[in-house]
Amino acid sequence: MEIHDDLRLFDEAFIKQLNREAENKIEYWDIRATFTEGTTLDFTDQKSTEISSYDLTSCGIRTFVNGGWGFYVLKDIDKHKIKAGFLKSIKLSVLTESLSKNKFKIKERDPIVEDFKIDTQIKLSNVDIEEKIQLVKNHEKFASDYSKMIKNTRTIYMDGLNDSIFINSFGSIVKQKLSYLRLLNMVYSQKSGVIQRSINSIGGLGGFEISSTEKAENLSQKTAEESITLLNAKSPVGGKFTVVTDSKLAGTMIHEALGHACEADLVLSKESVLEGKIGQKIALDDINIIDNPSIGQGKQFGLPYELFGSYFIDDEGIPSQKTIIIENGILKNYLHSLETASRMQLIPNGHGRASSSSSKPQVRMGFTYIEPKDWDIDELIEDTKNGILCEDFLYGYTNPTTGNFQFKCKFSYKIENGEKKEMMRDVALSGMILEVLNRVSGIGNKKTFNYSDGICGKGGQSVRVCDGGPYIRIEDITVGGLN
């Protein structure tokens, strides 16, 4: 596979040199170097506020000895500077080790020597800037013209091509060529003093074809419709309710209410309420929760591209794979990086991810979801006496130490005697991690399964993620409201 010329400096002789320098001083090292080029288009009210192109390089050198890590970041891909950076990184890890109290080893893994490439139908580099702009203009125009009540529109287009190399002291050499595209649409509408907004985005790993899928083409229509509909929504009344969530919200809830607390770095640092709970029953029998960021899942959803949260290998050279988090209600696995797996005497499961080569890997999710069961959407609603049907989300977060989580829904409808009634806005849901999974009273079937993609933040880094599930029903959720 052809990758960026400058990355060829990591040849056999150079890697040998690095290994010689590391010998007898440190126990593990890895280097990530990346070339990125891309385009960002940002339009508001059909006018361009940013049209930019960039090309950036970065290189992160990580070294390890007996519990101490060193990390050296530079922006030049240059043999001499990388060698000097490598030596500095060694000094840093040795110094860190001398002062750290917490000693541990990194367990050696089999090396991986492989090339990975995201297949694209329409190469981003073959698409003119004018064509990308036309795409954004079309979405802007559609949203603006949708209704007189629409006051503001914004569309952001981002794409990027990423050539990278990963090498480590196990002998791994992984070259990758990635291509991604993300389109985001925001619409603000106004009626008699009330302002409402809606946001939708789609993203994936692939070429320009991502922008012409049905989902992408309907993006601005969906957003415009939603923002207009929300104008008639009422503020909710706060209190305890039975809540039926759609698949996107179910996914967000699993991500926030369970996923973060399963990240083994938080478990080791005693920041997770799930510490010591492997093998214990923490949810109802019916509940199975998975994280599977493997490549190849776009097809399942009829998409000609890869899911936004998918990857070939993580940023520590471990292949992405399916991990069972909860099986029949029992907590089976945490998500691991090289370090956390080594320390817990386990095999790493590919969750050491970094937002770029300039940042160090942390334990992160990929595509987290709850497996479907047997309820129809209609059945779930009909079977609910008094409750709220919540659809899609604005954002969510959790405190893994206390177990309290919360997220905001985009829309909600009252359910009265099994019937979907009036719409509500700004509904916030809150709960406790260890309680909510025991209050699920209905899990939707395969037909109700869907996912959403987005960006998840942790420790100042952002990574691409997906989450999903079927429709689910939960009893006794605290709903925040203005009234």
Partner 1 sequence: MESTVDVYELAKYGIRFAEKKCRSFKCAEIFVGNSQYTNIELEENSIKYSEIGSDKGVSFRIYNNKGSIGFAFTNQLNKKVVENTVINAAKMMSAGTSDPYFKNLPGEYKSYPEVDNLYDKSIKTLTVEDSINFVKELVQVCSEDDLAISQSGDFTANHNKSYILNSNGIEVFGEETLFSISSNMIVKDKITGETSNGYESQIKRKLIDIDAMYTAEEALKNAKKNLNRIKIKTKKMPIVLTPKGTINLILSPIASAINAQLFQYKRSFLVDKRETKIGSEHLTVEDNALIHGAVGSSNFDGEGVPCKNKKIIDKGIFLKTGLLHNSYTAGKEGIESTGNASRRSFSSIPTIGISNLILKPGNISQEELIKDIKEGILLNSTADSPNISTGDFSGLISQGNLIIKGEIKQALNETMFGINLLELFKNIMLVSKEFKVYGSYYAPFVKIDNVQIIGANS
Q: Please state, in angstroms and rounded to a whole number, the distance separating the CA atoms of residues 318 and 107.
A: 13
- Provide the minimum distance between the beta carbon of 55 and partner 1 in the complex, in angstroms, as a whole number: 5
CB atoms within 10 A of CB 483: 7
Q: How far is the CB of 76 from partner 1 (least distance, A)?
A: 8
Cβ proximity to partner 1, 297 vs 401, nearer residue = 401
Give least dist CB 312 to partner 1, A.
26
Instruction: Please check whether residue 5 is in contact with residue 57, taking contact to mean a CB–CB distance below 8 angstroms.
Output: no
Cβ nearer to partner 1, comparing 297 with 478: 478
3-state secondary structure of 214: helix
- The answer to whether the CB of 265 falls within 8 A of the CB of 362 is yes
Q: In angstroms, give the least distance from the CB of 395 to partner 1.
A: 9
Q: Output 175 or 408, the one with its CB closest to partner 1.
A: 408
DSSP codes, 56-97: EEEEEEEEEETTEEEEEEES---HHHHHHHHHHHHHHHHHHH
107 or 458: whose CB is closer to partner 1?
A: 458
Contact 90, 63 (CB under 8 A): yes
Q: Which of 197, 136, 224 is nearest to 395 (CA)?
A: 197
Tokens of 52: 């930019």
Residue number, 80 or 285, with CB nearest to partner 1: 80
CB of 412 to partner 1, least distance (A): 12
Give the nearest distance from C-beta 443 to partner 1 in angstroms: 23
What is the smallest separation between the CB atom of 151 and partner 1, expressed in angstroms?
Answer: 6
Q: How far apart are CA 28 and CA 4, in angstroms?
A: 26
Q: Cβ of residue 426: shortest distance to partner 1, in angstroms? A: 6
Structure tokens at 362: 């942390």
Q: Which is nearer to partner 1, 216 or 479 (CB)?
A: 479
N-to-C CA span, the chain: 60
Is the alpha carbon torsion for 305, 308, 313, 317 positive or negative?
Answer: positive
- Beta carbon of residue 327, minimum distance to partner 1 (angstroms, whole number): 26
Measure Cα distances from 344 to 36, 89, 262, 264 in Å: 35, 26, 14, 9
Of the candidates 370, 379, 386, 352, the residue with the CA atom closest to the CA atom of residue 440: 370
Task: Give the nearer residue to partner 1 in terms of CB position, either 51 or 112.
Answer: 51
Residue (69 or 393) nearer to partner 1, CB: 69
Query: Smallest distance, Å, CB 251 to partner 1?
Result: 20
DSSP state of 249: H
Q: Which two tokens stand for residue 157?
A: 């287009």
Helices vs strands, H then E, count in the chain? 10, 23
CA dihedral 379, 383, 387, 392 (to 10 degrees): -10
Taking the least distance from each CB to partner 1, the nearer of 300 and 397 is 397
Helix axes 79-99, 12-22, angle to 10 degrees: 30
Q: Judged by CB, which is closer to partner 1: 231, or 377?
A: 231
